[in-house]
Amino acid sequence: MQKVLVRESGTLAVFAVVVFAVFFIWIAIGMLSFAPTWFALLFLVMPVLFILLALAKGTSVFTGNKKASALFENSEVSESGVTLPEELEYETGRVTLDGYWTSTGRSRSYNVRRSFEVRERKTGTFVEFPDEPFRVQVLRDGTGRVEAPAVRILSEPYRDALLIFFTDEGEVTGSGSLTLSKGSDVATVTFRGEGKELRGNVQAELSKARKVRIEVGSGKVWKRIAEGQSFDFTFSPIPEEKTVVFANYKTVSPMSLVKALWRDTAVLGHGAFELKAVLDVPLARDVVEKAEFQVELKKEGNVEKRERSEFEEEWGFWN
């Protein structure tokens, strides 16, 4: 069982805004010697507002980190779940985090949409580990989505602390072959699911093409797992061990999860994924072929089937 604390880093951004605002305040004070007082004061209002907003943001991040850290330090985890430091009120459900970048002129800003689907409200000292499907498709820069079972704490002093659960249960299914060709260059890719892994082989005869590249993912998020001419490849979309992430609901993001857990583009979880084979051809359009494979969470009952169907339908967002 892995226990991970995710802290948000807002200190550098807050410092930059404050420095920028102080510079404008210095200019406004200098303007008092030659400009009308009302004009200088008007020029002064904007940087002051920037400072207040930056301080509010910094305070929110600091408070969220403090609550998540306290719960992390005072809780115990086991294969069966999380023992809380005291009796707390909490909500069980599923959290969805969407990270994306927006541009205005030369500047770019990172944005996060968060939602929490509540299933039950409980009070207790123990949270059972939910062996439910999850899905992570996030680029290294934080673009993408995380959807997983979670618990949100409602009681102080840990209010809005968030527990996110990633199970190590799952089975990769599906098999097939892909053929890539352009001129005299030919490559054959075969793959099959074996337990928690996708295994495959590439056999290529290349003269003009540089290499064959293998990627997994879907929609906008793809992870490169191997490249070359003739080679074997292995990919596991399931974590090596159960993982509980301690974070704060108001500040956690796909970017912070990638930095804390994977440090690179992450494609993990359950549902339908695609394997993409690319024949890298110089000075010409690459040849691309795709095939689908599944990662299933083996549980019995109609409830699980319905949950998996709803889960996969929601992830149609990335197609």
- pTM, 2 dp: 0.81
- Number of domains forming the structure of the chain: 2
Assess if residue 317 is contained within a domain.
no
Q: Residue 235's pLDDT is what?
A: 97
Assess if residue 55 is contained within a domain.
yes
Which string of b and e fits 190-219 if b means at least 16 CB within 10 Å?
Answer: ebbbeebebbbebebebeebebbbbbbbbe
Given a cut of 70, the residues of the chain with pLDDT beneath it are 9-62, 64, 299-319
Q: Residue 301's pLDDT is what?
A: 45
- Same domain for 154 and 180, yes or no, is no
Q: Residue 317's pLDDT is what?
A: 39
- Same domain for 24 and 69, yes or no, is yes
**Which residues touch 240 (CB under 8 Å, ≥6 apart)?**
168
Q: Residue 300's pLDDT is what?
A: 45
Q: Name the residue among 148, 241, 142, 230 with its Cα closest to residue 186.
A: 230
Q: Residue 319's pLDDT is what?
A: 42
Domain carrying residue 96: 2-166
- Same domain for 188 and 84, yes or no, is no
The residue out of 118, 134, 166 marking a domain boundary is 166
- Same domain for 111 and 203, yes or no, is no
Assess if residue 316 is contained within a domain.
no
- Same domain for 47 and 122, yes or no, is yes
- Same domain for 84 and 201, yes or no, is no
- Same domain for 150 and 207, yes or no, is no
The residue out of 127, 142, 166 marking a domain boundary is 166
Bridge pairing between strands 107-128 and 2-5: unpaired
- Give residue-wise pLDDT tens across range 38-62: 555 666 666 666 665 655 565 566 6
Q: Residue 61's pLDDT is what?
A: 63
Rounded to whole angstroms, the Cα distance separating 126 from 107 reads 45
Q: Residue 106's pLDDT is what?
A: 77
Rounded to whole angstroms, the Cα distance separating 53 from 56 reads 5
Quickly count: other Cβ atoms within 10 Å of residue 221's Cβ: 18
Q: Name the residue among 198, 276, 190, 277 with its Cα closest to residue 236.
A: 198
State both tokens at 90.
């909490």
- Same domain for 184 and 285, yes or no, is yes
- CA dihedral sign of residues 156, 250, 256, 96: positive
Q: Residue 262's pLDDT is what?
A: 93
Rounded to whole angstroms, the Cα distance separating 244 from 150 reads 9
Q: Residue 65's pLDDT is what?
A: 84
Please report, for the domain that includes residue 304, its CATH number.
Answer: 2.60.40.10
Q: CA-CA distances (angstroms) from residue 214 to 191, 206, 234, 276? A: 11, 16, 10, 6
- Same domain for 203 and 274, yes or no, is yes
- Same domain for 27 and 84, yes or no, is yes
- Give residue-wise pLDDT tens across range 117-140: 999 999 999 999 999 999 999 999
- Give residue-wise pLDDT tens across range 132-178: 999 999 999 999 999 999 999 999 999 999 999 999 999 999 999 99
Rounded to whole angstroms, the Cα distance separating 162 from 245 reads 8
